[in-house]
Chains A and B, each alone.
Chain A
Amino acid sequence: MPEPLTSAIRVRGLKKQYGSRNAVNGIDLEIGVGEVFGILGPNGAGKTTTVEILEGYRKPDSGTVEVLGLDPWGQGDALKPRIGVMLQSGGLSPGLKPLETLRLYAAFYQSPDEPKRLLDLVGLNDSAQTPIRRLSGGQYQRLSLALALIGRPELLFLDEPTAGMDPRARATTWEIIQALSEQGVTIVLTTHNLAEAETLCGRIAIIDKGSVVAEGSPGELTGAVIRSELVFTSTPGLDTETLQRSLGVRAEMCRETTSGTYVVEAPTSTELVRAVVNFLHEVNAPLFSLATGQATLEDVFLQLTEETP
């Protein structure tokens, strides 16, 4: 992967302690201008602390942090006009209406976007005059997204942007994010939805216990961490030694993981599938299901963040 020409975010040796707990324990990140960068990790891994330091909410204990060439803690006044932030939850006055809120936020920025255009973009036209307290969870999130965009940000922080959205709203939000990325907006996306990360992000960092445990494109992560595998189901108790010999793979590659489910860890190919089918035919066993393919990001995530107790 070529080094990005210019960095939107550069973090070196970032540390942050709460009491005796290391929330962030030496994180390095380099995010290029125009990238959609995903930050994944279990709850309490240090994602939120890291992102809140980038947004200028918290002061790092040590390490260097540069966001659009600025120090978010010391130069927040210069940085804030150039970023947009969507919090994971909350942030809006329940007594105001969506259009009022967008107009209010528009007044904070030098050359804001058009409030009505943004309401239209996120599909909230019909709720422009509904008090925010009466919006559904998904509508609230869409308004939060519109507010994050009102200042025409160069850099956008989205924390769980599609949580609580119905499938249609989620699809719309993904389209908006992809369109922004095409316009050159840099996007830092925190999410628990791994399909979302796989769909939207060019690169991903997985954070666990305050450190980056893996980083790369979704393809690199899924390719590097778990090899290809083939999974099929049949009657329980088949002889995996015979299976392994007829497939021509090493013994440890072939196992019955749960009763009747068999996993073959090998590069998948039509020959391998044919060999499996031949084997079942020979031992006169049925084939209930068969799936091939690479590990998903979810497999990678679980493997990387589960290993140490």
Chain B
Amino acid sequence: MKARGVIAQARAETTLGLRRGESLVVTIGIPVGVLLFFGKVQTVSVVGDPLTFLVPGVLALAVMSSAMVSLGIATGFDRRYGVLKRLGSTPLTRSGLLAAKTLYVLAIETIQLSVLIGVALLLGWRAGGGIPLAFLFLLIGTIAFAGLGLLLAGTLRAEANLALANGLYLALLFLGGMAYPLRRLPSAVRSFAELLPAAALAESVRGALHSPMDVPVKSVVVLVVWAILLPVLAAKLFRWEE
């Protein structure tokens, strides 16, 4: 009975997600665009095949876009429209709603990763190994970014949340070592960027896909800390009514 409600809610969330054109641009359009553009146009020189560098970056970007931007903005407007309040008087519990939103993010990510990996394979990308480990890091990244998305959604007005989530997406794309290597950044900016969850996720996935031996421990630690800190903050500070 309870599972039926959670699944119905997850399906409604996914239906809404797929109906929001602007959300699809952010979750599918931009990551695919980054992959095609930087994969085909050699704007930044990287050592070896640019795809080896780019694919882990766009996978991290995809996770950031669905877990933080798409989930966060949708939840912010759920709060604005009183949807969260109304659901609060139904038998769907808060943990049920959280489970439904988790399933929604996983559903969108499945679509994203299928499309991105498909495009990458067509472009000639081959994984170096460590695929299960890469997926584990993407999952931890999902937890961190969902925490961030919900933290913003549950504390800001819907419009401020919309602007900030999109702004963070852009900033973290630039500071995340996703489209070009972090070493291109000035060293002060780089040291700062390395402490942010975006670069930590991209570097962890990149290391794993290169070889499980090459995983950068510092990036993994940074990622895990964010994945604990952000959901805890979100749970503490989330306000159900705007």
Contacts and interface: CB of A to CB of B under 8 A. Distances in A.
A168 to B, nearest CB: 26
Interface of A is mostly: loop
Interface in A74-100: 77, 80-81, 83, 85, 87, 89-96, 100
A92 B8 contact: no
Contact of A93 (B11, B81, B91, B92): B81
B78 interface: yes
B40 interface: no
Interface string B1-41: 10011011101100110011000000000000000000000
Contacts of A55: 89
Contacts of A104: 8-9, 11-12
Interface residues of A, number: 28
Given A91-B86, A93-B78, A108 B12 contact: no
A100 B93 contact: no
Given A56-B89, A57-B85, A95 B19 contact: yes
A249 interface: no
A137 to B, nearest CB: 14
Interface of B is mostly: helix
B88 A57 contact: yes
A308 interface: no
B2 to A, nearest CB: 9
A85 B91 contact: no
B83 interface: yes
B85 A91 contact: yes
Contacts of A105: 90
A116 interface: no
B64 to A, nearest CB: 23
Contact of B82 (A56, A81, A91, A147): A91
Nearest to B17: A95
Interface in B72-106: 78, 81-83, 85-86, 88-93
Nearest to A72: B89
Contact of A90 (B85, B89, B91): B85
Contacts of A101: 12
Interface string A56-71: 1100000000000000
A91 B19 contact: no
A262 to B, nearest CB: 49
Interface in B164-180: none
A108 B89 contact: no
A108 B5 contact: yes
A28 to B, nearest CB: 24
A81 B88 CA distance: 11
A158 to B, nearest CB: 12
Interface string A95-117: 11000110111011110000000
A104 B14 CA distance: 13
Contacts of B1: 110
Contacts of B91: 77, 80-81, 108-109, 151
Nearest to A110: B1
A102 to B, nearest CB: 11
Nearest to A56: B89
B89 A80 contact: yes
A55 B160 CA distance: 30
Nearest to B242: A90
A87 B82 contact: yes
B82 A90 contact: yes
A261 to B, nearest CB: 45
Contacts of B9: 104, 107
User: Which of A85, A95, A101 counts the most B-chain CB atoms under 10 A from its CB?
Assistant: A95
A101 B11 CA distance: 11
A190 B195 CA distance: 52
B83 A91 contact: yes
Contacts of B89: 55-57, 80, 83, 85
25 contacts: A55-B89, A56-B88, A56-B89, A57-B89, A80-B90, A80-B91, A81-B91, A85-B89, A87-B85, A90-B83, A91-B81, A91-B82, A91-B83, A92-B86, A93-B12, A95-B19, A96-B12, A96-B16, A105-B90, A107-B4, A107-B7, A107-B9, A108-B5, A108-B91, A110-B1
Which 10 pairs across A and B sit closest by C-beta, in order of nearness? A90-B82, A91-B86, A107-B8, A85-B89, A108-B5, A91-B82, A81-B91, A108-B90, A95-B16, A80-B91
Given A92-B82, A95-B16, A104-B8, 6 more contacts: A81-B91, A85-B89, A90-B81, A93-B81, A103-B8, A107-B7
